[in-house]
């Protein structure tokens, strides 16, 4: 079943973009707008399933059912080269048909009959199965809701587009986590914090009544990979988004996204009662403050009945929060959750805090601040932690909060936009990084207590669960500023649905849908993508180094930076290079950050001889002459890593040049130019870092 699920998921993504093609593009445009939803002719293969794609029945009258019909009407002729026709409800079963709809509609249409077993994939999951009625074959796609059926249709289309469809298909697929969200760091003026693909997609001036047609394409793309929620605004939130004029605009967006199963969430500024309500305090323990938020929640739900809830950044990087009034994070989160509870909303409370007055090691701060609150957050609250304890670095060990708060649903925050990994100029496929985190064993309940099992709620039996990805979309034509950055949006959605999927398999799906079905082309591009993250780590921050990027914009190296207003904003704070060695001592003899991990990880990380080399300088201050597993000294190994990272980028560029005649010229040229810039930046990283660190190592 797992293999079939994998195949199905690939088919779904293709479907999502069929709408976009007909509505927005001339046929076969290759400017990157179609994302992974390029509907092109599928491989010619024998199979009775092909006959099932000619006559279609999509019962139901909901907006989502109409979305399904439109998607199939656009996708199937493009994929098969043959026209399709839609049957009316109660159509006779002596014709081959593909049925897509929720259970109640299939039952009402007489499709589900005795002998056809009903399968239960849950309220968002779906099943796809070939059924035989006499000599006829019927391809069933269904779930318990219209939206689950939409997910199933997208999955089917992905299978068709990747050539993975078979007559014996039988798949049940259900999401691993309940909340699968994109976090947009968009500001109300149209700018995007850490955005590298143009300006915000949300055309506030046109809402309502004239939303940008591109917003429907965005919703289709998200639905095609199972994303079910969007946080519209920056976590560094403006209270203005909670005012009536903006809520009217958001209501229009919610109506546009609803047929695709996407709920709206908002980042809420904690001091909004003072800014908007004229209150003298935002203390969550004050009845007037709680009353203001309850009234605001009522106003929002009157407009948007399926509003998802609030995302909150509080007492972090200057943002206001409950600690300003002597209250705790749990006090603030629970007050907001109480306001949302009558309407079914949730509060997502970010754990990105690093008050170094609590502990001089920034990596320890969030753990020390949040673990005493475990069990004090209400049932409608999730705590959202980044994948690592610093800040979306090229590589970090998993955040020690995962496993340390068993009584609190922990939501994983990943960054799709490549703030620290070359932004939209570098080809860096992030799925291997995310898989490394999700597969990491915390050992808090013994072996097998992976971050993935904590995030999906199965380890501690939490009902609420979620994954969030900081979005990399903007209004540039190709959405993400780099054709290959689209793969990270795609991979995030797929992993949020099923975190057991393999990074290489997801790359294979995406390449087949986005670039080519030619096996040689697929293998060449996959070889580029598969090692691109490790190469980025090597030419930026090998062996456990971190945060040595240039200040502010975080593009390019500056390992010697030491002029910031606070110590932990300096590069030198993190690497601590001197004539004796390099690295941050987080052992029991140093900051003791290792003790925030459960044994045996604590002991593994604490010992210089057993600490994984990929985290060596994260946990240890290591002598330059220390012998590595390769037999080289630490300094020799660092030189090799920086050189290998640069060499990999040069190799990617050479591979890409060999594909020039196999791909469309527009996108090929864009990627070629990006790879040229990446190669030059990797060269700068190598030369600057080796020159700087060499001053200490070679004394």
For 91-96, what is the mean pLDDT? Answer: 50
Q: Is residue 522 within 8 Å of residue 508, measured between CB atoms?
A: yes
Question: Which CATH fold would you assign to the domain 2-172?
Answer: Chitobiase; domain 2 (3.30.379)
Q: Which of 658, 678, 679 is nearest to 668 (CA)?
A: 658
More confident residue, 17 or 146: 146
535-584+621-697 falls under which CATH superfamily?
A: Alpha-glucuronidase, C-terminal domain (3.90.1330.10)
The pLDDT-based confidence of 594 (bands split at 50, 70, 90) is: very high
Strand order in the sheet with 97-102: 85-86, 55-57, 97-102, 136-143, 126-133, 170-173
Q: Is residue 693 within 8 Å of residue 686, measured between CB atoms?
A: no
For 480-503, what is the mean pLDDT? Answer: 98
- pLDDT above 80: residue 517: yes
- CA–CA gap between residue 131 and residue 111 (Å, rounded): 11
The pLDDT-based confidence of 592 (bands split at 50, 70, 90) is: very high
Rounded to whole angstroms, what are the CA distances from 484 to 422, 480, 624? Answer: 12, 8, 37
- pLDDT above 60: residue 26: no
DSSP 597: S
316-322, Cβ contacts within 8 angstroms, sequence gap of 24 or more: 316/350, 316/352, 316/353, 316/354, 317/236, 317/352, 319/235, 319/236, 319/237, 319/269, 319/270, 320/269, 320/270, 320/271, 320/282, 321/270, 322/270, 322/282, 322/283, 322/284
374 by Cβ neighbours in 10 Å (0-12 / 13-18 / 19+) ranks as middle
- pLDDT above 90: residue 503: yes
To the nearest whole number, what is the mean pLDDT of the chain?
Answer: 92
Q: Is residue 179 within 8 Å of residue 382, measured between CB atoms?
A: yes
Q: Is residue 624 within 8 Å of residue 633, measured between CB atoms?
A: yes
For 551-574, what is the mean pLDDT? Answer: 97
Q: Which of 499, 404, 343 is nearest to 6 (CA)?
A: 499
Q: Which of 506, 566, 569, 556 is nearest to 682 (CA)?
A: 556
Q: What is the pLDDT of residues 425-467, one digit of tens each?
A: 999 999 999 999 999 999 999 999 999 999 999 999 999 999 9
Q: Is residue 672 within 8 Å of residue 657, measured between CB atoms?
A: yes
52 by Cβ neighbours in 10 Å (0-12 / 13-18 / 19+) ranks as buried
Q: Which of 652, 649, 657, 655 is nearest to 682 (CA)?
A: 649
- pLDDT above 50: residue 25: no
Q: What does the pLDDT read at residue 15?
A: 30
* Domain residue limits, the chain: 2-172, 179-499, 535-584+621-697
Question: Which CATH fold would you assign to the domain 179-499?
Answer: TIM Barrel (3.20.20)
Point out the residues that are catalytic.
317, 391, 419
- pLDDT above 60: residue 14: no
- CA–CA gap between residue 343 and residue 40 (Å, rounded): 43
Of the candidate ranges 35-44, 119-128, 179-188, 296-305, the one whose mean pLDDT is the lowest: 119-128
Residue 607 zone, left/alpha/beta (φ > 0; ψ -120 to 50; rest):
beta
- pLDDT above 50: residue 21: no
Locus of tokens 């988004």: 241
More confident residue, 237 or 29: 237
Residue 265 zone, left/alpha/beta (φ > 0; ψ -120 to 50; rest):
beta
DSSP 88: P
């Amino acid at each position: 079943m797992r293999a079939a699920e994998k195949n199905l998921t690939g088919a779904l993504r293709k479907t999502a973009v069929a709408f976009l093609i007909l509505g927005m593009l001339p046929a076969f445009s290759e400017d990157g707008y179609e994302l992974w939803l390029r509907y092109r002719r599928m491989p010619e293969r024998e199979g009775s399933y092909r006959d099932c794609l000619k006559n279609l029945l999509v019962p139901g009258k909901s907006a989502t059912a109409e979305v399904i019909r439109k998607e199939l009407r656009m996708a199937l002729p493009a994929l098969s080269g043959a026209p399709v026709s839609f049957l009316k409800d109660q159509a006779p079963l002596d014709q081959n048909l593909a049925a897509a709809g929720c259970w109640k509609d299939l039952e009402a249409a007489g499709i589900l009959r005795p002998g056809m077993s009903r399968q239960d994939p849950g309220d968002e999951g779906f099943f796809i199965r070939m059924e035989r009625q006499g000599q006829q074959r019927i391809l069933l796609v269904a779930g318990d809701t219209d939206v689950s059926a939409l997910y199933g249709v997208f999955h089917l289309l992905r299978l068709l587009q990747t050539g993975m469809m078979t007559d014996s298909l039988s798949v049940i697929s259900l999401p691993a986590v309940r909340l699968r969200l994109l976090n947009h760091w968009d500001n109300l003026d149209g700018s995007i914090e850490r955005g590298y693909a143009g300006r915000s997609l949300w055309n506030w001036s046109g809402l309502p009544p004239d939303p940008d047609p591109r917003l429907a394409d965005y919703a289709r793309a998200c639905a095609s990979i199972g994303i079910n929620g969007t946080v519209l605004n920056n976590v560094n939130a403006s209270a203005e988004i909670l005012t009536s004029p903006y809520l009217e605009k958001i209501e229009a967006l919610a109506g546009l996204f609803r047929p695709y199963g996407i709920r709206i969430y908002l980042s809420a500024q904690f001091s909004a009662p003072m800014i908007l309500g004229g209150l003298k305090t935002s203390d969550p323990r004050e009845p007037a403050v709680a009353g203001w938020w309850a009234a605001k929640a009522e106003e929002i739900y009157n407009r948007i009945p399926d509003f998802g809830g609030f995302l909150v950044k509080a007492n972090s990087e200057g943002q206001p929060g409950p600690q300003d009034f002597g209250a705790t994070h749990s006090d603030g989160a629970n007050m907001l959750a109480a306001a949302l509870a009558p309407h079914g909303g949730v509060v997502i409370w970010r754990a990105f805090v690093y008050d170094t007055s609590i502990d001089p090691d920034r990596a320890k701060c969030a753990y020390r601040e949040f673990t005493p609150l475990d069990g004090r957050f209400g049932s409608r609250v999730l705590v959202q932690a980044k994948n690592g304890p610093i800040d979306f670095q090229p590589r970090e060990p998993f955040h020690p909060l995962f496993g340390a708060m068993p009584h609190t649903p922990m939501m994983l925050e990943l960054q799709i936009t490549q703030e620290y990994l070359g932004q939209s100029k570098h080809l860096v496929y992030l799925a291997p990084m995310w898989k490394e985190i999700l597969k990491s064993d915390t050992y808090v309940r013994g072996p097998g207590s992976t971050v993935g099992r904590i995030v999906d709620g199965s380890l501690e039996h939490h009902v609420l669960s979620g994954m969030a990805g900081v979005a990399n979309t903007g209004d540039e034509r190709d959405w993400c500023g780099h054709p290959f950055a689209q793969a990270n949006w795609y991979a995030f959605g797929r992993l949020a649905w099923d975190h057991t999927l393999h990074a290489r398999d997801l790359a294979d799906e995406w390449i087949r849908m986005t670039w080519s079905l030619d096996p040689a082309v697929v293998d060449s591009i996959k070889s580029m993508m598969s090692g691109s993250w490790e190469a980025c780590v090597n030419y930026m921050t090998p062996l456990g180094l971190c945060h040595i990027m240039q200040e502010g914009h975080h593009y390019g190296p500056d390992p010697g930076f030491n002029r910031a207003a606070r110590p932990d904003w300096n590069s030198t704070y993190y690497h601590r290079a001197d004539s004796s060695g390099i690295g941050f001592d987080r052992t029991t003899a140093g900051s003791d950050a290792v003790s925030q991990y459960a044994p045996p990880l604590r002991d593994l990380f604490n010992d210089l001889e057993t600490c994984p080399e990929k985290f060596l300088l994260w946990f240890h201050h290591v002598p330059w002459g220390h012998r590595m597993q390769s037999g080289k000294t630490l300094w020799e190994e660092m030189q090799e890593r920086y050189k290998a990272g640069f060499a990999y980028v040069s190799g990617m560029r050479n591979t890409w040049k060999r594909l020039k005649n196999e791909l469309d010229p527009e996108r090929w040229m864009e990627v070629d130019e990006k790879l040229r810039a990446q190669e030059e930046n990797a060269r700068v990283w190598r030369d600057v870092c080796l020159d700087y660190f060499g001053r200490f190592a070679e004394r």
